[in-house]
Chain A
Amino acid sequence: MHTDLITFLLHMGDNTLILSQRNSEWCGHGPVLEQDIALTNIALDLLGQTRNFYQYAASLSGDGTTEDSLAYLRTVREYYNCLLVEQPNGDWGQTILRQFLFSAYQYPLYEKLKVHPDDTIAAIAAKALKEVTYHLRWSSEWVVRLGDGTPESHSRMIKALDNLWPYTGELFDPASYEQIAAIDSAILKTAWLDRVTAVLAEATLPLPGQTFMQSGGKKGLHSEHLDYLLAELQYLQRTYPGNEW
């Protein structure tokens, strides 16, 4: 039995879990050692946020559900993450841009959730906001560095923008369970767009115009990429059920 509150918590945790998994794919493959560590740190921060949301959701479910069963034993249609976070890493530029677009969304979101009437949600948001502040700073600087870098890095960032922009509309198209957050999505969008506009301008990147926006992730309708991601993420528990370290 999924109440709106539980589904909302899953949505929040799924966003961070899937992005964490994507970022962690860079572990050992970063362009330089220092940035490899930086992105892996961010992946771990996001995983920590996921655990908080899942643990709370599991405590509300009360039917033997645990944070592990939520992560490892749900099928793709039972994931409520937005489409943006499941998009493939592409090159370093696309990975950075995806992180930036998402952090710029998380920042105003957690700022609002920090004063949510549900104490647990408020506490999770307050803790996570410190991490997100750094993620946003780090990814913003990289977007500027690459956008305003060489002709090669500039053109790659434009390509990354083309690839990812159609997945940003969904962030501000609330699903029914998001009423739990009690946040006006128009306000979130304004905050997000202000930030994105400023950073893209500094990066000498054009703000994309109106385009068709993809949606569905929040309702469990995902792009093909999530199946592959989950296959890797869940392989061990699916193959050896109940196995522990």
Chain B
Amino acid sequence: MNTFIRKCYYGDIPDQKGAGTPEIHTDFTAEQWPLWEVFIRSKQGLDHKHAGSLHAADAKMAIENARDVYTRRQEGVSIWVVESKHIHATNPDEAESLYEPANDKIYRHPAFYDLPDAVKHM
């Protein structure tokens, strides 16, 4: 079997064609199936959390793959998938200007209030 599977990690997402394009149908290989990000809600009322990524030809297949790959051990009650190319991320090179200015602004945390003893769960 000559199938070549390329693993992609964060920040290493290739610029691939979208799902359902003619190229996908003319040459059906794993290499050309776009990458999808999977978000799982573990139970009602909680947020969908990023679970991982996988390859699929279209959204339908991506959801089924996600069901088989990421919810085998009762991890979820709801699945979102989104093609990785639709996720825009910050550039690690800009981390200094983006995040470090917050480092010395500790007063932004609500840590300086005296809580009455009667208040619980804060």
Chain A interface residues toward B at CB < 8 A:
29, 31-35, 37-38, 41, 134, 137-138, 141, 145, 149-150, 153
Chain B interface residues toward A at CB < 8 A:
1, 3, 5, 25-26, 28, 30, 33, 54-57, 60-61, 64-65, 67-69, 72
Name the B residues within 8 Å of A145 (CB-CB): 57, 61
CA separation between A54 and B111, bound complex, in Å?
62
Tell me whether B1 and A141 are in contact (CB under 8 A): no
Tell me whether B64 and A32 are in contact (CB under 8 A): no
Name the one of B28, B60, B68 contacting A34, with C-beta atoms under 8 angstroms: B68
- Apart from A32-B3, A137-B64, A141-B64, list 12 A-B contacts with CB within 8 A: A31-B1, A31-B30, A32-B33, A33-B54, A34-B54, A34-B69, A37-B69, A38-B65, A149-B25, A149-B28, A150-B25, A153-B28
Tell me whether A150 and B26 are in contact (CB under 8 A): yes
Tell me whether B72 and A41 are in contact (CB under 8 A): yes
Name the one of A29, A32, A37, A150 contacting B5, with C-beta atoms under 8 angstroms: A32
Name the A residues within 8 Å of B26 (CB-CB): 150
Tell me whether B55 and A34 are in contact (CB under 8 A): yes
Residue of A nearest to B67 (CB): A134
- Interface pairs (12), CB distance under 8 Å: A29-B1, A31-B1, A31-B3, A32-B3, A32-B33, A32-B55, A33-B54, A33-B55, A134-B67, A141-B61, A149-B28, A150-B25
Name the B residues within 8 Å of A41 (CB-CB): 68, 72
Name the A residues within 8 Å of B64 (CB-CB): 38, 137-138, 141
Name the A residues within 8 Å of B1 (CB-CB): 29, 31
Name the A residues within 8 Å of B72 (CB-CB): 37, 41
Residue of B nearest to A39 (CB): B68
Name the A residues within 8 Å of B68 (CB-CB): 34, 37-38, 41
Name the A residues within 8 Å of B61 (CB-CB): 141, 145
Say whether, besides A141-B60, A149-B25, A150-B25, A32 and B30 are in contact (CB < 8 Å).
yes
CA separation between A149 and B26, bound complex, in Å?
8
Interchain residue pairs A-B with the least CB separation, the first 3: A34-B65, A38-B68, A32-B30
Name the B residues within 8 Å of A32 (CB-CB): 3, 5, 30, 33, 55
Q: For residue B87, give the distance in angstroms from its CB to the closest CB of chain A.
A: 19
Name the A residues within 8 Å of B54 (CB-CB): 33-34
Q: For residue B88, give the distance in angstroms from its CB to the closest CB of chain A.
A: 25
Say whether, besides A29-B1, A41-B68, A138-B64, A34 and B56 are in contact (CB < 8 Å).
yes
Residue of A nearest to B54 (CB): A34
Residue of A nearest to B56 (CB): A34
Name the A residues within 8 Å of B3 (CB-CB): 31-32
Q: For residue B39, give the distance in angstroms from its CB to the closest CB of chain A.
A: 16
Name the B residues within 8 Å of A37 (CB-CB): 65, 68-69, 72
CA separation between A71 and B83, bound complex, in Å?
44
Q: For residue A116, give the distance in angstroms from its CB to the closest CB of chain B.
A: 28
